[in-house]
Structure 1
Amino acid sequence: MATFDKKTAFSLEDAIDYAGGGVVSKQVTKNKGGNITLFSFDKGQGLSEHTTPFDAFAQILDGETEINIGGEIFHLTRGQSIIMPANIPHSLKATERFKMLLTMIKGE
């Protein structure tokens, strides 16, 4: 897993590559308040339904995805974002290959 140096500028989209037929993740930073992770998904790849105990903010950096939050489907493309609320089941599928920045914020 690559690490990111503090006080060093970088391009989010260029900081992670696609893997044919796979999913790639790179943790940008993590502390007791939450974490920030980059993901790339090849077309057809995804994450199965799960819940987390804190809100998750997904920012689409490239491509297209379908995100299911509590049974409601959202189609997102480059430049769009969505908040997946804590304790609500969610999943995602790459309708085209895509990259996202995921920010997880722990609740009080």
Structure 2
Amino acid sequence: MKKLIKNIDLSKKYELASLVDYQEGKVISRTLAQGRPLSLTVFAFDKDEEISSHTASGDAMVVILDGTAEITIGEEKLVLTKGETVVMPAGVPHALLAVEQFKMLLTVVFSLE
């Protein structure tokens, strides 16, 4: 059977935030699944690093695993901390900024149509 989750050992216990390490001046990512209908990626952002405004073709859910992020969705700015979640709707511009170092799980769900 084809391995659907990649870049991680299966049947092993993990703390999700431990899958990526902070690196000075960088955004680090580890893709766990990529394709339709789902993409899973764990990110670590150093303080003041960002992903500039862009749109996605699927709904994108962010779960903050550590630290603090400012997430802009359309014209609204939200500050999220560990344990908080937001969904960035498909087609709506969004951006992320590390207020302090933060880690997140990004799940993007795409339409099969």
| TM-score range normalised by the length of the shorter chain | over 0.9
Match in the other structure for 2:3: none
Match in the other structure for 1:15: 19
Aligned residues with identical type, % of pairs: 40
Question: Gapped runs of 5+ residues in structure 2?
Answer: 1-5
Match in the other structure for 1:63: 67
Q: TM-score, normalised by structure 1?
A: 0.94
Q: TM-score, normalised by structure 2?
A: 0.90
Q: Which consecutive segments of 4 or more residues in structure 1 shift more than 3 A? A: none
In the alignment, residue 56 of structure 1 is paired with which amino acid? A
Question: Gapped runs of 5+ residues in structure 1?
Answer: none
The aligned length equals: 107
In the alignment, the residues of structure 2 paired with residue 89 and residue 32 of structure 1 have an alpha-carbon distance, to the nearest angstrom, of 21
Q: Structure 1's 46 and 25: CA in aligned 2 closer, same or farther, altered over 3 A?
A: same
What do you get for the CA RMSD once the two structures are aligned? 1.3
Larger radius of gyration: 2
Instruction: State the 1:32 CA deviation.
Output: 2.3
